[in-house]
Amino acid sequence: MIFIANWKMFGGLNSLNSINPVIKFLKIFKNKKSVKIIYCPPTTLIYPMYKRLKNTPLMVGGQNCHENHKSGAFTGSINATMLKNVGASYVIIGHSENRRNGENNSLINQKIKSAIKSGLNVIFCIGETLGERKKKLTKKILNKQITSGLKKIKNKKKILISYEPVWAIGTGLIPKINELYETISFIKNKFKDYKVLYGGSVNPKNIKDLKTIEKLDGFLIGGASQNSKKFIDIIKKTYN
Ligand code: PEP
């Protein structure tokens, strides 16, 4: 199972200490061989985190990147080549917090292509808003986001699709398990051979229900991943 820690815009150098218990835990966890942990801290922490995680199985990723993998006059931007250069092996693209700020499917497609060109793996986020869900548009929206986002991308192994209903992110709400099962099955049946994760308010309490969806390949965890105890609990309970 894959566990992605999205720290969003939280954390300074001191926060790096919070990964020590996770490193220790993974050394002794009996299912460690099947666990993959990817930390996506703010860009300022990628390199120090990469150095801390060297010689451990944990990996580092960025939270977004510019669509141009070559350098250019784009003040304030960071591209996938730069992320790779400081130790990232993954990058989150298409997160709803960025879609909300104007990222559309076509820009996301360009970003995914640039990340792959730079040698990064992509955590590709998709998800419907509450309004879309109420109008029963979930499948239509997901289909459009995936088809457009992955247009002309062949290397399925480089992509992890993370299904994150917008209304479940940071709200404490999760979809009903039968509905989530149906959505994950829809994605897996339509877009074969992709690994599919779930993200949205995953915590140590609801993981026991979420883990019953056997088709899932892992979880993207935001808020709870900043607390190592909660993060470890989620991983442990996924296997219990
Ligand atoms: C996220 O950052 O994508 C996320 C799922 O956050 P949270 O777990 O806090 O809902």
Q: How many domains does the chain contain in total?
A: 1
| Length of the chain measured in residues | 240
Q: What percent of the chain has pLDDT over 90?
A: 99
Q: Stretch 187-200: mean pLDDT, rounded?
A: 97
Residues 6+ apart with CB under 8 A from 154: none
**Ligand 1 pocket member 6 (CB < 6 A):** yes
What residue's CA is closest to ligand 1, atom 2? 222
Query: Which CATH number does the domain housing residue 100 bear?
Result: 3.20.20.70
- Interatomic CA distance for residues 134 and 167, integer angstroms: 11
- Residue 166's Cα: distance from chain center in Å? 14
Tokens 């209304």 map to which residue?
167
Q: How far is the CA of 15 from the centre of ligand 1 (A)?
A: 18
pLDDT per residue over 120-144, tens digit each?
Answer: 999 999 999 999 999 999 999 999 9
The answer on pLDDT for 240 being more than 90 is no
pLDDT per residue over 67-126, tens digit each?
Answer: 999 999 999 999 999 999 999 999 999 999 999 999 999 999 999 999 999 999 999 999
Q: Stretch 167-171: mean pLDDT, rounded?
A: 97
Q: Which domain holds residue 104?
A: 2-239
Active site annotation includes 164: yes
- Interatomic CA distance for residues 194 and 212, integer angstroms: 19
